[in-house]
Structure formats: structure tokens, C-alpha cells
Amino acid sequence: MKRILLFALFALALVSLAGARPASAAPAVAPTTVDAKIEIVWPHNNASVSQARLANITVYLFEPGTLRTVPCDFNGTVRLWRALNNNPASNSGMPTVQKRLVTRGGFTFPVWDFNDVDVSAAADGVNKLYFYVTVDDVATNFNVWSHGADARTYLPQPQQPRGVLGSTPEAVNARIQVVWPHDRFGQQQPVNRATLANVTVALFHATIPNVNNSVGTGFNRRVLLYKALNNGSMELVGAGVRRTTSQGGVTYPVWDFNDVDVSQARDPLNKVYFRVLVEDTRTFSTLWSHGADARTYFPTPDQPTGGCARSAPAVSLDPYQGASGTAVRVRAAGFPANTNVNAVAGPENAEAIGIANGRTNANGVWEFDWRITGGTGQRWRVSVLTVTSGGQTPIRAQSEVFTITGQQAHPNLRYYWPTTIPQRMSVVKGESWADEGGYALSLARSNTQWRATLLGGSAAEGIRLPASPGSAVTVRGLNARAYTTGAGYTIRWEENGELYAITGSLSLDDTVALVNGLESVSLSTWQRRLSGS
């Protein structure tokens, strides 16, 4: 029944599948994106900021947007970055990371330790240190940890360039020059009263050491501002607006981000952190801390919602006999949380006509019970394709054929046959069927878009309709509902406790006329007419 439910499913795209069974046990899928969170910064001997010289830092890695840790065997290179005051962050001089497994709250998971990190600069009350973590070759959402007697950022004298280089650099130092808090009327306000802030960023060449030159006024790559609240991950604010300014005889570009929401920082328990990223350019950014008291206090470390052990990714297709006939339980397990999963079904040697899709839950599992509606003895193929959340790359595919056993009888079912067929369509015998449980009559016109399918009983019950109520129509003197995707109509109605539907690419008038022209015949007459079509 090629495309017969395309309109009833409302614009879900069909997915092409490889018909292979899954391979045997495989390593857990390595995540392509992680949330990297500094959970603990422990000054040696619990020394105060003014006395501490060294500290140990512990990092957890989670699947994005969850507290499900990465697999036990995750071996990505984890790097610690440190920024002093308003200088760009660097990972130079950081100790070698050590990975270990810990058990807490009944779960075992990996953590990464950086021991004996130099924090002596923060002993000077005017200095503050900022830390964050990235993972090589993995998109990393990270939090910022501030360490200092007063970790708020002050920059009374923004750094000015000595000159301008016109070439496009491979790397830049992105310096946040100003964070100016104000109210919605544009009046400057202290942190505990400001709801908005204007942020200005300047870019300096990082590929030429010790040369304080700005990028040129023709630099046109997007400059992006990120912010984080307290110990949360950085989130995109937006792209800056470039303008040209002149200082000390040097004309250079800066980027403005106006009316950035900082209202949460009015609470002295909150702090907002900013950083900058330049598209397609390696970026060493300053970290700006905005708050009445911007120190990071020892939070309670996150409690993972599951251990790091993973079963090999796999999908299963298990048939069972439901109340209304053959059904298949589709299950995907062992995948990362929020992995897209698509399943399709249709007659064995025809194009898929039904689609079900969703996302795996926090435990990496997705299940769907699919009731197959077709003639007894008909063979249907059910296939599953799972794709990564970042694109359409298949992880695992499985495809199986099931023979439909007896459907539940529908004693009050009427078998309708059209007396007139619009748009010069004709019956498609290979896509039509009927038995005691239901029927489907496929109509099409060769080499055109004109299609329609009449469904009754179990076949009509299998149509999934959108949450919207549709519109009221009258067919055969009965109240019905009409639904549209913009490329055709589906009408569903009920007679004597049985459901009927017609779906296709026809106009509403043609669809209504087709329904109103139906005549009721016996099952044997319906099947004989189909054979003679």
C-alpha cells in the first residue's frame, strides 16, 4: 500500500533501511557530546583561599542534558583550563589527568582527577582564578568554577590593541572588555538591581606570541557569547553585532551583545559567567564572573542516575497476538539517552506505509507496540533504524518479516466499494486486501500524485491522527472529521460501532464525494470485484 498512510501520518518522512540483523555484542557507543562538570575543587589541607597553594580538582562527564555518566571505557582526552583574572584561559602547565572508577549511591562511574593544581595566584586578594574542562574531539558543554577571595571580575582598564593585523588568524584571544549592568530603561544599576547587561568583546591575534594586535576591521566570522548560571553548563546567548571603535590612534572592531539577561544575579547566591567563542577559529576566551559574590561554593556533587556499564546497542522485534490481531513490540536498548529511533512497517515487497519514531529515555531505551493491520496471511516487514542525536548516521538496523495471523472479527463491518472514482484513478490490486477483520482498497492514477485509500475495520483503527481536532464534515449523512497536511485530506467516520476512513491526495470535495458514492457489498463480492479489477 505505497504511501497510503502518508497523509494520515501527517508529513513524517519515510526512512530507507538496510535489512541486516544487528551484529553480536559491540562496544558501547562513544558519545559525541558531553556535559563536563567540575564537581570538587579541594585546596590541600582544607586551606583557605588566601593560604592555599595547591588544589585537587575532580570532574564528572555526563551524556548531554542528563545525569547519566559516560561509559566506563570512555577514553577521551580530558583537559583542564585555567584563566587568571581577565586573561584568556590556557591549559598550559596543568597536571596530567587521572581517571578512576568510584561507587556512590549504588552506582559505579568514572571520574577524572587533576591533582596538585597551582592555585597560589588566588592567595593575592586582587586575583581570581577560573577553571573549566573540555574533551578533545568531543563537543563539550562545561561549567565554570571560580576560585578567589572575591571572584567577581573587575576590569577598570580594558586592554587596548597596539595595532591591527589584516590577516585572518588561526586562533584568537577573545577578551570581554566590558559588562555594563543596567535596567530596562538603560540606566546603569548595581549588580543586585540590574536586570540586563551590555557586553563588549575585542579579538586579538593569538598566533603571534607577545604581539597585542587586534583582528582587522574586515574580520567577518561570527562572535558568539555564552553564559552559565552558577554551576550549570554554558549556553549560547547569541551572536554579537560588530562595530568599529578608535582608541590611542588604533581603529579596530569590537562586538556588542546588548540587553543580556542577568536578572538572576540580583540574588547574592547566584552568579553568571560569560565566555566567547569565534566560529571556525580556535578561541582562547576570558571568563567573566558577574554577581554580588561570584565565588563558587562547594556544592553537593551531582548524583548520577545510573552507572557507567552499558549493554551493547541492540534492537529487538518481538511479535505477539494482541486483542485485535498481530502486534510487534519494537525495542531499542543500550543506546545513549535521547538517541533518535525510527521504525517503519509495510507489506513485505512494498514501500513502508507506517512510521513510528521517538527518543531513547535516560536509560537508553525506547519501546513501541505496533499493531499490524492487514489481511490474514499477509506478510509484513517491520524495520528499525536508530540514528545518532547529532545526525543521520545509522548505529544499528534490524528488519524482520512477520506473517499476519487472524485479526479480530468485526461482525458489524460493512464492505464498501466506490461507485465513482475521481481523477481517473483505478484500483491497485497488489496493495488492496480484505478479510473478516478489515480491508483496504488502494486507488491511484499512474505517473501522477493522485492517490486514495479506503480503510475499514482494523485498517481504519490503525490510522494515527494528529492531536488537533480537525474540522467537522458530513459524509453519508453522518458526522465525521476531516484532517489535512496541506497536500490532501483524511476523513474518518463511524457507522454502527465500526470505524472507516479514506486518506490520500484528493481535495476535500473529491474526498467527500468519494465517500458519499460508496455502496455496501458482501465480503465475497468485495473480494470478487478486487480479483476482477
State pLDDT tens for residues 40-71.
888 888 888 888 899 999 999 998 888 889 98
- When pLDDT is averaged across residues 143-147 and rounded to a whole number, the result is 88
Assess contact for 58 and 40: CB atoms under 8 A: yes
Rounded CA separation 228/274 (Å): 7
Choice between 369 and 523, residue whose per-residue pLDDT is larger = 523
Cell numbers for 282: 580556535
* Among 380, 356, 360, residue whose Cα is nearest residue 369: 356
63 within domain boundaries: yes
Any domain includes 496: yes
Determine the Cα–Cα distance for residues 246 and 21; give it in Å rounded to an integer: 65
Average pLDDT over residues 445-470: 79
From the list 124, 84, 147, 108, the residue with the least C-alpha distance to 298 is 147
- Look at residues 400, 397, 378 and name the one whose alpha carbon lies nearest to residue 387: 397
Last residue of a domain, one of 307, 341, 369: 307
How sure is the predictor about 233, in pLDDT bands with cuts at 50, 70 and 90?
confident
14 assigned to some structural domain: no
> Does the pLDDT at position 331 exceed 70?
yes
Domain with 394 in it: 314-403
User: Quick check: is 18 in a domain?
Assistant: no
Higher-confidence position of 319 and 274 = 274
283: CB partners within 8 A, 6+ apart? 171, 172, 174, 276, 277
First to last CA, the chain: 16
For the chain, the domain total comes to 4
164 in the same domain as 135: no
Looking at the structure, do residues 272 and 341 belong to the same domain, yes or no? no
Query: Of 379, 403, 427, which residue sits at a domain end?
Result: 403
Residue 3 domain flag: no
Q: Which band of pLDDT confidence, cut at 50, 70 and 90, is reported for residue 116?
A: very high
Window from 247-261, 266-280, 483-497 with minimum mean pLDDT: 483-497
Average pLDDT of the chain to the nearest whole number: 81
Which amino acid type is present at position 7?
F
Would you call 130 exposed, middle or buried from its count of C-beta atoms within 10 A (0-12, 13-18, 19+)?
buried
Domain end point (choices 355, 373, 403): 403
pLDDT for the residue 270: 87
User: What would the mean pLDDT of 150-175 be, rounded to a whole number?
Assistant: 78
Q: Is the pLDDT of residue 467 over 80?
A: no
In order of 39, 152, 237, 466, 490, the CA distances from 148 in angstroms are 17, 9, 26, 55, 65
Give the residue-averaged pLDDT of 165-176. 87
On whether residue 409 sits in a domain, the answer given is: no
Q: How far apart are CA 456 and CA 511, in angstroms?
A: 15
- Give pLDDT, residue 114: 95
User: Does residue 187 sit in helix, strand or coil?
Assistant: coil
35 and 128, same domain (yes or no): yes
Q: Is residue 12 part of a domain?
A: no
Indicate whether 528 and 431 sit together in one domain.
yes
pLDDT(397) > 90 = no
Q: What percent of the chain has pLDDT over 70?
A: 81
* Each residue's pLDDT tens digit, 33-46: 899 999 988 888 88
Cell of 211: 604581539
Has residue 208 been placed in a domain? Answer: yes
Question: What is the Cβ-side half-sphere exposure of residue 110, based on CA atoms within 13 angstroms?
Answer: 20
For residues 173-184, average pLDDT: 92
Mean pLDDT of the region 165-185: 89
Model confidence at 460: pLDDT above 80: yes
Q: Taking residues 301-307, report their average pLDDT.
A: 84
Closest CA to 367 of 347, 384, 390: 384
pLDDT at position 176 over 90: yes
Sign, Cα dihedral of 104, 105, 111, 114: negative
The pLDDT confidence band at residue 112, using thresholds 50, 70 and 90, is: very high
| Number of C-beta neighbours around residue 237 at 10 A | 16
Same domain, residue pair 321 and 256: no
Could you give phi then psi for residue 308, rounded to 5 degrees?
Answer: -90, -10
- Residue 473: which CATH number? 3.30.200.100
Query: Taking the model in full, what pTM does it have?
Result: 0.55
Q: Are residues 145 and 36 in the same domain?
A: yes
Percent of the chain scoring above 90 in pLDDT:
34
- Return the H-helix or E-strand segment holding 512: helix 508-516
374: domain CATH number is: 2.60.40.10
Q: Tell me: the pLDDT tens digits for 333-382?
A: 877 777 888 888 777 776 666 677 788 887 778 888 776 666 666 677 88
Residue 438 sits in the same domain as residue 480 = yes
* Dihedral sign of CA atoms 520, 526, 528, 532 in order: positive
**How far is Cα 356 from Cα 345, in angstroms, rounded to an integer?**
9
Radius of gyration of the chain (CA): 32
Q: Which residue has the higher pLDDT, 487 or 91?
A: 91
**Residue 35's CB: how many other CB atoms inside 10 A?**
23
Same domain, 433 and 387: no
Judged by average pLDDT, the poorest of 12-21, 320-329, 421-430 is 12-21
138, 196: one domain:
no
* 3-state class (DSSP) for residue 495: strand
The model's confidence at residue 100, banded by pLDDT at 50, 70 and 90, is very high
| Between 258 and 503, the higher pLDDT residue | 258
Domain CATH code at residue 100 = 2.60.40
Lowest mean per-residue pLDDT among 116-130, 409-423, 427-441: 427-441
Same domain, 384 and 464: no
Q: Select the more confidently predicted residue: 303 or 322.
A: 303
pLDDT tens-digit readout, 184-232: 898 998 888 999 999 999 999 886 655 688 999 999 999 999 999 988 8
For residues 421 and 385, state if they share a domain. Answer: no
Are residues 165 and 277 both part of a single domain? yes
pLDDT of res. 211: 64
pLDDT computed for residue 517 by the predictor: 94
169: cell is: 588568524
